[in-house]
Copies of this chain bind each other. A is one copy, B any other.
Protein backbone atom coordinates (compact mmCIF):
# COMPACT_ATOMS: atom_id res chain seq x y z
CA UNK A 1 0.00 0.00 0.00
CA UNK A 2 1.75 3.14 -1.23
CA UNK A 3 1.17 5.97 1.23
CA UNK A 4 1.45 9.46 -0.27
CA UNK A 5 4.09 11.59 1.44
CA UNK A 6 4.25 15.30 2.13
CA UNK A 7 6.61 18.03 3.29
CA UNK A 8 5.93 21.46 4.75
CA UNK A 9 8.30 24.33 3.98
CA UNK A 10 7.84 27.40 6.16
CA UNK A 11 9.60 30.48 4.81
CA UNK A 12 10.03 33.18 7.39
CA UNK A 13 12.60 35.03 9.47
CA UNK A 14 9.74 35.87 11.82
CA UNK A 15 9.33 32.23 12.82
CA UNK A 16 13.08 31.61 13.28
CA UNK A 17 13.47 34.77 15.36
CA UNK A 18 10.45 34.04 17.51
CA UNK A 19 8.54 37.16 16.50
CA UNK A 20 5.64 35.01 15.33
CA UNK A 21 4.73 31.53 16.48
CA UNK A 22 4.11 29.05 13.68
CA UNK A 23 0.45 28.17 13.21
CA UNK A 24 0.53 26.84 9.65
CA UNK A 25 2.78 23.81 10.05
CA UNK A 26 0.82 22.98 13.18
CA UNK A 27 -2.46 23.10 11.25
CA UNK A 28 -1.10 20.95 8.42
CA UNK A 29 0.28 18.27 10.78
CA UNK A 30 -3.25 17.50 11.94
CA UNK A 31 -4.90 17.97 8.54
CA UNK A 32 -2.48 15.73 6.64
CA UNK A 33 -2.78 13.00 9.25
CA UNK A 34 -6.56 13.13 9.06
CA UNK A 35 -6.33 12.96 5.26
CA UNK A 36 -4.18 9.81 5.42
CA UNK A 37 -1.09 11.55 4.02
CA UNK A 38 2.28 10.76 5.64
CA UNK A 39 4.05 13.99 6.59
CA UNK A 40 7.79 13.29 6.33
CA UNK A 41 9.46 16.70 6.70
CA UNK A 42 8.91 20.09 8.27
CA UNK A 43 11.54 22.64 7.33
CA UNK A 44 11.77 26.29 8.35
CA UNK A 45 14.16 28.51 6.37
CA UNK A 46 14.93 32.27 6.35
CA UNK A 47 13.74 34.78 3.74
CA UNK A 48 16.65 34.04 1.38
CA UNK A 49 16.21 33.01 -2.26
CA UNK A 50 19.06 30.49 -2.19
CA UNK A 51 17.71 28.77 0.93
CA UNK A 52 14.19 28.54 -0.49
CA UNK A 53 15.50 27.25 -3.82
CA UNK A 54 17.64 24.51 -2.27
CA UNK A 55 14.81 23.42 0.04
CA UNK A 56 12.18 23.31 -2.72
CA UNK A 57 14.45 21.40 -5.07
CA UNK A 58 15.10 18.71 -2.48
CA UNK A 59 11.59 18.45 -1.05
CA UNK A 60 9.86 18.45 -4.43
CA UNK A 61 12.07 15.59 -5.62
CA UNK A 62 11.67 13.56 -2.42
CA UNK A 63 7.97 13.77 -1.54
CA UNK A 64 4.61 13.59 -3.29
CA UNK A 65 3.22 16.92 -2.07
CA UNK A 66 5.03 20.02 -0.85
CA UNK A 67 3.24 22.92 0.84
CA UNK A 68 5.02 26.23 1.28
CA UNK A 69 3.93 28.84 3.81
CA UNK A 70 4.84 32.51 3.61
CA UNK A 71 6.96 34.91 1.62
CA UNK A 72 4.40 35.77 -1.06
CA UNK A 73 3.56 39.40 -0.31
CA UNK A 74 4.73 42.56 -2.10
CA UNK A 75 7.75 43.50 0.05
CA UNK A 76 11.51 42.94 -0.24
CA UNK A 77 11.40 40.09 2.31
CA UNK A 78 8.95 38.09 0.16
CA UNK A 79 11.25 35.79 -1.80
CA UNK A 80 9.25 32.58 -2.18
CA UNK A 81 8.33 33.10 -5.85
CA UNK A 82 11.94 33.80 -6.80
CA UNK A 83 13.15 30.87 -4.71
CA UNK A 84 10.73 28.39 -6.27
CA UNK A 85 11.51 29.63 -9.78
CA UNK A 86 15.22 29.13 -9.06
CA UNK A 87 14.54 25.64 -7.68
CA UNK A 88 13.07 24.61 -11.04
CA UNK A 89 15.51 26.66 -13.17
CA UNK A 90 12.63 28.74 -14.48
CA UNK A 91 12.44 32.52 -14.85
CA UNK A 92 9.89 34.61 -12.97
CA UNK A 93 7.34 35.89 -15.49
CA UNK A 94 4.41 38.27 -15.22
CA UNK A 95 1.29 36.12 -15.60
CA UNK A 96 -1.11 37.84 -18.00
CA UNK A 97 -4.30 36.44 -16.47
CA UNK A 98 -3.24 37.41 -12.94
CA UNK A 99 -2.19 40.85 -14.15
CA UNK A 100 -5.61 41.28 -15.76
CA UNK A 101 -7.34 40.42 -12.47
CA UNK A 102 -5.18 42.84 -10.49
CA UNK A 103 -5.99 45.65 -12.96
CA UNK A 104 -9.70 44.86 -12.71
CA UNK A 105 -9.57 44.78 -8.93
CA UNK A 106 -7.35 47.80 -8.28
CA UNK A 107 -8.34 49.93 -11.30
CA UNK A 108 -6.29 53.12 -11.44
CA UNK A 109 -4.42 52.12 -8.28
CA UNK A 110 -2.79 49.14 -10.00
CA UNK A 111 0.77 50.40 -9.68
CA UNK A 112 3.97 48.36 -10.01
CA UNK A 113 3.94 47.37 -6.33
CA UNK A 114 0.58 45.68 -6.83
CA UNK A 115 1.25 44.24 -10.28
CA UNK A 116 4.26 42.40 -8.86
CA UNK A 117 1.70 40.06 -7.30
CA UNK A 118 1.22 38.67 -10.83
CA UNK A 119 4.89 37.60 -11.02
CA UNK A 120 5.13 33.81 -10.85
CA UNK A 121 7.57 31.01 -11.71
CA UNK A 122 7.19 30.21 -15.42
CA UNK A 123 5.95 26.69 -14.63
CA UNK A 124 3.21 27.86 -12.24
CA UNK A 125 -0.32 26.61 -12.78
CA UNK A 126 -3.37 28.27 -11.28
CA UNK A 127 -5.52 26.21 -8.94
CA UNK A 128 -8.94 27.86 -8.80
CA UNK A 129 -11.77 27.35 -6.31
CA UNK A 130 -15.34 28.64 -6.64
CA UNK A 131 -15.18 31.21 -3.83
CA UNK A 132 -11.58 32.33 -4.33
CA UNK A 133 -10.74 35.67 -5.87
CA UNK A 134 -7.14 34.59 -6.13
CA UNK A 135 -5.90 31.12 -7.13
CA UNK A 136 -3.31 28.99 -5.38
CA UNK A 137 -0.13 28.71 -7.47
CA UNK A 138 1.16 25.20 -8.04
CA UNK A 139 4.62 24.51 -9.47
CA UNK A 140 4.94 20.82 -10.27
CA UNK A 141 3.99 19.28 -6.86
CA UNK A 142 4.58 22.45 -4.81
CA UNK A 143 1.52 24.32 -3.48
CA UNK A 144 2.34 27.94 -2.67
CA UNK A 145 0.32 29.18 0.30
CA UNK A 146 0.29 32.53 2.10
CA UNK A 147 1.91 32.92 5.53
CA UNK A 148 -0.95 34.82 7.16
CA UNK A 149 -2.61 32.05 9.23
CA UNK A 150 -6.23 33.00 8.42
CA UNK A 151 -5.49 32.90 4.68
CA UNK A 152 -3.34 29.80 4.87
CA UNK A 153 -6.09 27.95 6.71
CA UNK A 154 -8.85 29.07 4.37
CA UNK A 155 -6.90 28.13 1.25
CA UNK A 156 -5.81 24.74 2.58
CA UNK A 157 -9.22 23.74 3.88
CA UNK A 158 -10.82 24.61 0.54
CA UNK A 159 -8.49 22.32 -1.38
CA UNK A 160 -7.80 19.59 1.14
CA UNK A 161 -10.15 16.91 -0.20
CA UNK A 162 -8.01 16.49 -3.29
CA UNK A 163 -5.31 14.98 -1.04
CA UNK A 164 -7.50 12.48 0.84
CA UNK A 165 -6.57 8.78 0.75
CA UNK A 166 -7.30 5.79 3.04
CA UNK A 167 -7.01 6.72 6.72
CA UNK A 168 -4.40 5.66 9.24
CA UNK A 169 -5.57 3.30 11.99
CA UNK A 170 -3.96 3.67 15.41
CA UNK A 171 -3.85 2.12 18.86
CA UNK A 172 -2.05 3.19 22.01
CA UNK A 173 -1.08 1.08 25.01
CA UNK A 174 -0.20 2.74 28.32
CA UNK A 175 1.93 0.72 30.72
CA UNK A 176 3.60 1.09 34.10
CA UNK A 177 6.56 -1.01 32.95
CA UNK A 178 9.89 0.75 32.41
CA UNK A 179 10.87 1.47 28.81
CA UNK A 180 14.12 -0.47 29.37
CA UNK A 181 12.13 -3.56 30.28
CA UNK A 182 9.94 -3.60 27.18
CA UNK A 183 12.54 -2.43 24.65
CA UNK A 184 13.47 -5.95 23.51
CA UNK A 185 9.83 -7.03 23.11
CA UNK A 186 9.04 -3.90 21.10
CA UNK A 187 12.02 -4.49 18.84
CA UNK A 188 10.90 -8.07 18.10
CA UNK A 189 7.33 -7.01 17.39
CA UNK A 190 8.47 -4.12 15.20
CA UNK A 191 10.76 -6.43 13.21
CA UNK A 192 7.98 -8.99 12.74
CA UNK A 193 5.36 -6.43 11.67
CA UNK A 194 6.97 -4.02 9.23
CA UNK A 195 3.63 -2.60 8.02
CA UNK A 196 2.90 -1.27 11.51
CA UNK A 197 4.81 1.74 12.84
CA UNK A 198 5.51 1.29 16.55
CA UNK A 199 6.50 4.23 18.75
CA UNK A 200 7.58 4.23 22.38
CA UNK A 201 7.24 7.39 24.47
CA UNK A 202 8.35 7.50 28.11
CA UNK A 203 6.40 9.73 30.46
CA UNK A 204 8.11 11.39 33.42
CA UNK A 205 5.55 14.15 33.96
CA UNK A 206 2.71 12.19 35.61
CA UNK A 207 2.57 8.99 37.69
CA UNK A 208 -0.34 7.31 35.86
CA UNK A 209 1.82 5.50 33.26
CA UNK A 210 5.49 5.14 32.37
CA UNK A 211 5.42 4.39 28.67
CA UNK A 212 2.92 5.03 25.90
CA UNK A 213 3.34 2.57 23.03
CA UNK A 214 1.70 3.67 19.78
CA UNK A 215 0.83 1.41 16.85
CA UNK A 216 -0.14 2.81 13.49
CA UNK A 217 -0.91 1.36 10.08
CA UNK A 218 -3.09 1.69 7.01
CA UNK A 219 -3.69 -2.06 7.27
CA UNK A 220 -6.38 -2.64 9.91
CA UNK A 221 -5.81 -6.39 10.08
CA UNK A 222 -2.07 -6.03 10.55
CA UNK A 223 -2.73 -3.46 13.26
CA UNK A 224 -5.04 -5.80 15.19
CA UNK A 225 -2.60 -8.71 14.93
CA UNK A 226 0.26 -6.53 16.12
CA UNK A 227 -1.73 -5.14 19.04
CA UNK A 228 -2.59 -8.70 20.13
CA UNK A 229 1.08 -9.75 19.85
CA UNK A 230 2.13 -6.73 21.90
CA UNK A 231 -0.37 -7.39 24.67
CA UNK A 232 0.90 -10.97 24.97
CA UNK A 233 4.46 -9.66 25.47
CA UNK A 234 3.60 -6.96 28.00
CA UNK A 235 2.99 -7.63 31.68
CA UNK A 236 -0.80 -7.36 31.81
CA UNK A 237 -0.70 -6.41 35.49
CA UNK A 238 1.03 -3.22 34.41
CA UNK A 239 -1.06 -2.28 31.38
CA UNK A 240 -3.12 0.70 32.48
CA UNK A 241 -5.11 1.43 29.36
CA UNK A 242 -5.51 0.42 25.71
CA UNK A 243 -6.93 2.92 23.23
- B-contacting residues, A58-81, CB 8 Å: 73-77
Q: How far is the CA of A191 from the CA of B76 in the complex (A)?
A: 9
**Chain A 177-196 near chain B by CB (<8 Å), digits 1 or 0:** 00111111011001100000
A199 x B19 contact (CB < 8 A): yes
| Interchain CB contact (< 8 A) of A205 among B46, B150, B199 | B150
Interface of A is mostly: mixed
B42 x A73 contact (CB < 8 A): no
B199 x A13 contact (CB < 8 A): yes
Q: A76-B186, A198-B76 are in contact. Are A39 and B26 (CB under 8 A)?
A: no
Q: A42-B43, A76-B183, A200-B75 are in contact. Are A18 and B14 (CB under 8 A)?
A: no
- A179 neighbours in B (Cβ, 8 Å): 73-75
Q: A113-B184, A180-B74, A204-B151 are in contact. Are A199 and B43 (CB under 8 A)?
A: no
Smallest CB gap from A212: residue in B: B19
A237: Cβ under 8 A from any B Cβ? no
Q: How far is the CA of A117 from the CA of B40 in the complex (A)?
A: 27
**Chain A 40-57 near chain B by CB (<8 Å), digits 1 or 0:** 111111110000000000
Smallest CB gap from A151: residue in B: B204
Q: How far is the CA of A179 from the CA of B146 in the complex (A)?
A: 15
B46 x A44 contact (CB < 8 A): no
Measured CB to CB, the residues of A under 8 A from B are: 10, 13-21, 26, 29-30, 33, 38-47, 73-77, 111-114, 116, 148, 150-151, 168, 179-184, 186-187, 190-191, 197-202, 204-205, 214, 216
